[in-house]
Amino acid sequence: MWSLGPIAFGAPWLLLGLIALPILWLLLRAVPPAPTRRRFPGVALLLGLADDESQTDRTPWWLLVLRMLAVAAVILGFAGPVLNPQDDRPGRGPLLVLVDGTWADARDWPRRLDRVEAALRDAASDGRRAALVQLTDLPAEGPVFRDAQAVAQEAAGLVPRPHGPASEAIADWVEALSGDFDTFWLSDGVARDSRADLLAGLEARGIVRVFESPRPIYGLAPPRFEDGTVMLEALRARTVGTAELRVNAIGPDPAGVERRLASETLGFAADEGRATLELSLPPELRNRITRFEVEGVPSAGAVALADDALKRREVALISGGNDREELELLDPLHYLRQALAPSADLVDGTLADVLLANPDVIVLADVATLSALEAEDLEAWVEDGGLLVRFAGPRLAASDVSREALDPLMPVRLRAGGRSIGGAMSWGEPKALAPFDAESPFHGLGIPEDVAVSAQVMAQPDPTLASRVIAQLADGTPLVTRKDAGQGNIVLFHVTANAEWSTLPLSGLFVQMLERLAVSTRPAVPDLEAMEGTNWMPEDVLNAFGVLEDAGALPGVDGSRLANLTPGAEMPPGLYAGEERRIAVNVFNTDSRLQATTWPDRIPVEGLEMARETALKGWLLGGALMLLMLDILAVLALSSRLRGPRAGVAAAVLGLALAGLPTPPQAQEDEAAPPVSEDFAVAATSNVVLAYVETGIPRVDEMSEAGLYGLSNTLFQRTSIEPSMPMGVDPETDELAFFPFLYWPVTADQDLPSRAAYAKLNRYLRTGGMILFDTRDADLARFGSSSPEGQRLQAIARGLDIPPLEPIPQDHVLTRTFYLLQDFPGRHATRDVWVEAAPPDAQAAEGMPFRDLNDGVTPVVIGGNDWAAAWATDETGAPLVPIGRGMAGERQREIAMRFGVNLVMHVLTGNYKSDQVHVPALLDRLGQ
Amino acid sequence: MTERPLTLRGGAEALAAPLPPLLAEAEHLATTVIVGDHGRRRAGLGDTFWQYRPAQYHDERRHIDWRRSAKSDAQFVQDKEWQIAQSVQVWVDQSASMAFTSNEGGVTKADRARVLALATAILLLRGGERVGLTGNLLPPRRGEAQAAQMALLLCEDHPDDFGAPVADGMLHHSRAVFVSDFLGNMDEVERALARAADRDIRGALVQVLDPAEEAFPFDGRTIFESMTGAMRHETLKAGELRERYLDRLAERQARLADLARLSGWQFHTHHTGESATAALLWLYTALERHA
């Protein structure tokens, strides 16, 4: 290249074309623009007029200058000018190309490879021999100098390693160097102790040039879990100025697809090399995270793997029995909560909701029977690998679960009744625990003296019993039994979870037993002595680009090497699995440092400040094009053709040419999914609405609607409840939560609801809704299985979570919520109405004429009196269905209406009328 | 009868094609000016009342207006206004130079001249005058049919470059209208006006010009040609010619004005860019003067 100041020309002989410019000037000048012809009648007046100046047939000078400039720009452009050209590099002798090849190189690896190839090709064109050495993969002998072209072809096979170079290996290699050679060192920019010695050794042999990329190097320290948040530290090598990073947490979603679970930005303050990020994530997300990555940096140092240290067990606690306001210490779950809260995440809720959260452990405290659907779901969950821990209690003892046949959710068969020791009616004293034997998971735990069991349920002696016992009393009675079911276990503690039957929950042994059962989380880092002699197999390893790959057939690692937690050639970073846990080895430890290299001034470092070559060819040719376009416009203007509409067009073209940038495509906005059936929700919730379940049979549905219409009218007239028109609902499709009360007429051939509908109905019942089941055949059959409707009702109710039922007692709150009633007739006048059973120990308080039975609203009322027919009226208010005969029939209709009013009042107010404040008025009314 | 009926009809329709639009336009223009039967403002033969005058010995008794006479002692006779149809003869320049228009699809000078002339004729015919063309083809007659005839004859185009006013066949003591661009030979115009003045014909000269001819907006190297291409003038710098051209144009217009004044005629310059109604009004009032 021939250079003129800061500009060098690639094809300088084209510049000779500039000589031709003056000739061009003379030619252009002699050729005038063509004349325009016009038809003009006024030419009669023009005849005889002569032009005064005669040199106006030449091109004007400025047009000439414009054209000359355009041609000159074209010539200069094609001569290939380059601003700030690169210098050649002279040199002779062999060339050693040294590549660091660590994770810090991985980010710009293709660029480095290009640079290596360029250096090797320059060496080849200069006729020098060359050798290529990677520091993380040092060959045993010293560098072998060969033909540079051959080495350049091998360069493409270089692969970076995820760890740094081993310092002893480097020291040995430096000792083994011999001969004189120049070095071209592609350094990764991370300061290491081994660099100084290596540099000294190489400088003793010849000139050293260094290539470093100016890009910043980021690293991520392993995550820690502290106080409910995940702490992440990020490191950077060059601390100039501020920087912002985006850190992503990656893990599988519930479907197993790997996804970005959380993402946060992290900012480095100026001149700071470390920055901390606190992530507070919900436990489900946190347990699923497998690694943290810095976005946009494909290097192993920017990936931090998360192992079991981040996972906490998720334990769900479910107790049998309804919500009774009991003393806290009697609550079966209290001791469990105290034991588990520090080390595990607790989940409360109903079984259906809890199964959705997919916990690790479910604890059922004194739960005897489960509905068939729930039992099925629970079995499926246990088979999938869940741990079910059950505690006994009065309910389990009173029920007949697992008595004749082994219940799939119980580890052993139980004997009827229980065993009471040390109580008032027993012979002996409370028994202590026997020491745990070797196969039990509790082996090794010390038993405090104050642990005594005074009552428990007994296991049926069985051939399989002995293999399932993992803890027993001093006299050999099984205390804790366990069985495997699929991939999970079922464990039964034969005592209660509170201190009623034993003092076990009061002791520290309880916490240790739960921990041994893997109910709580393991501690974070194992200690060194425990690791000696253990063998850890790599499951997944990180390559230098930060990609997690399967380990394949890599050899295992001894525990003492693993405890070091520094990766090397024999232990690449990744996840190592031991017997019962996994440990992650990352590029950085919690106390690693990341510093940038500092080179002495005598070493030329390439890649940091380099004046870049700019090619001017494009600019010059573009400029020539613009000038030629201006020339077109100028010629048009000269021959005065640029008048009128042409001027407008020319201006528009000029404007477009100058503006002409394509606008970026506008991002599409996500349209939110339109809300579904808003009208239904609005209609249902704007007022109280009584609803009936559609059976599909038009007569029945019409009767239900008319019945609820009559009831709504009555409520409107007599009470402060002002319902809107009744609505029909379909449990499959409609939302049930809008309606306080559902009237369900049972027909003999009704469809059973689907699973989703059952879930909806169960949720409805649990959250305080009431369903009135009406079999409408009380004149034919009593409540039971003797009529088709009754059988249908039983089939439907099998899937629902219905509590124990009893006929309405005389002092149930339904008898006094609005009217004082003792009969609940409809079209039929039987007394067969069933509501939720009262707890067996409910008693009337002093002076109260009724017992305080249920705190909430009875979820179901079941009967067969066909209430809808009794309530049914048409739009004018005339009753639709004849009830009874004569005045007695009308009286029966009136009582049925009153029952309906009572029912709706009960739904909307609960057991308000059981409050003491109503007692005086009630006593007055009752005549006492 | 050598022509087939189809081609005859086609040819006739082609011939008559410009007629309806011209007529329609002229009628439309004419409706912008409301006019009635015009009186001569003197006593004479007519219908409308003019004045009362005392009865003379030669007035017949049945002419005495007894109502007016009863109001006084003398007897009065009603005088009627002299309403006499006068003749107006029109000449429109139909040469090639009139077919010029400076913007594409605009109104040519010929179009404007024809519409103006025909609108005036319609107005005058409605007013009861007799209108015709100069020359021998269409002598002045009354009635609406005359307008159609005039339209037919006006639609023809003549092939020469500039036209000279035709002053043959003009009735004595009538009125005349010459519509042209007057860019041709001025001597012809002078001769025609002289003949008209000999026969005591008064009238109006309307010069129809294109705005480009009035402004001369040309520049650069140009070759000017007349409409048939017979005349050409080449210039290297048209902008330099503008002033001298405009001087010449003004000179010509001044000469026309002088001629008109000397012969008792009116002169007006109309540009095709202006509205035709203004020109029509001027023309109509010009014909009223010196009644």
- What is the per-residue pLDDT for B291? 42
Q: Closest approach of chain A CAs to the CA of B247, in angstroms?
A: 10
Lowest mean pLDDT, pick from A99-108, A387-396, A840-849, B221-230: A840-849
Which of B183, B184, B222 minimises the CB distance to A35? B222
B212 touches chain A (CB under 8 A): yes
Contact at 8 Å (CB) between A14 and A75?
Answer: yes
Bridge partners of A481, per DSSP, are A469, A492
- Kindly list the domain boundaries of chain B, sorted by start residue: 18-33+86-289, 49-80
A127 touches chain B (CB under 8 A): no
Residue, of A924 and A417, whose pLDDT is higher: A924
Contact at 8 Å (CB) between A272 and A82?
Answer: no
A43 touches chain B (CB under 8 A): yes
Burial label for B237, CB within 10 Å (0-12, 13-18, 19+), is: middle
- What is the per-residue pLDDT for A672? 44
Which of B220, B233, B236 minimises the CB distance to A640? B220
A36 touches chain B (CB under 8 A): yes
B217 touches chain A (CB under 8 A): yes
Q: What percent of chain B has pLDDT over 90?
A: 33
Amino acid at residue number B107:
V
Which residues of B fall within a CB distance of 8 Å from A36? Answer: 220-223
Lowest mean pLDDT, pick from A559-563, A804-808, B178-182: A559-563
Rounded CA-CA distance A9/A888 in Å is 119
**A-chain residue closest to B103, CA distance:** A644
List, for residues A42-56, the tens digit of each pLDDT value: 888 888 887 766 545
List, for residues A204-228, the tens digit of each pLDDT value: 888 888 888 888 888 888 888 777 7
B243 touches chain A (CB under 8 A): no
**A-chain residue closest to B251, CA distance:** A45
**B-chain residue closest to A47, CA distance:** B233
Query: Cβ contact (<8 Å) for A42 and B234?
Result: no
List, for residues A639-657, the tens digit of each pLDDT value: 666 666 677 777 777 777 6
Which residues of B fall within a CB distance of 8 Å from A34? Answer: 221
Lowest mean pLDDT, pick from A208-212, A352-356, A847-851: A847-851
pTM of model > 0.80: no
Most confident region among A57-61, A217-221, A892-896, B38-42 by mean pLDDT: A892-896
Interface probe for A, chosen from B160, B234, B248 (most Cβ of A below 10 Å), is: B248
pLDDT band at B198 (very low <50, low <70, confident <90, very high): very high
Rounded CA-CA distance A628/A632 in Å is 6
Query: Cβ contact (<8 Å) for A41 and B225?
Result: no
B247 touches chain A (CB under 8 A): no
**B-chain residue closest to A37, CA distance:** B223
Question: With DSSP H G I counted as helix, E B as strand and the rest as coil, what are the percentages for chain A, rounded to 5?
Answer: 35, 20, 45
Is the per-residue pLDDT at A250 higher than 80?
Answer: yes
Rounded CA-CA distance B247/B234 in Å is 19
**What does DSSP assign to residue B105?**
T
Torsion, Cα of B108, B112, B115, B117 (10° steps)? -130
Query: Cβ contact (<8 Å) for A37 and B222?
Result: yes
Pair of tokens at residue A834: 């069933």
Q: Closest approach of chain A CAs to the CA of B189, in angstroms?
A: 15
Which of B162, B227, B234 minimises the CB distance to A39? B227
Which residues of B fall within a CB distance of 8 Å from A51? Answer: 235-237, 240-241
Which of B97, B181, B218 minimises the CB distance to A38? B218
CATH code for the domain defined by B18-33+86-289: 3.40.50
Lowest mean pLDDT, pick from A98-112, A684-698, B10-24: B10-24
Chain centre to alpha carbon of residue A117:
44
Interface contacts (A, B; CB < 8 Å)? 104
Is the per-residue pLDDT at B290 higher than 60?
Answer: no
A645 touches chain B (CB under 8 A): no
Contact at 8 Å (CB) between B230 and A44?
Answer: no
Alpha-carbon distances, residue A517 vs A163, A249, A575, A838, B100 (angstroms) = 38, 30, 25, 37, 110
pLDDT band at A669 (very low <50, low <70, confident <90, very high): very low
Residue A316: other Cβ atoms inside 10 A:
22
Interface probe for B, chosen from A38, A43, A52, A636 (most Cβ of B below 10 Å), is: A43
Residue B2 sits at φ, ψ, to 5 deg, of -75, -20
Instruction: Give chain A's length.
Output: 928
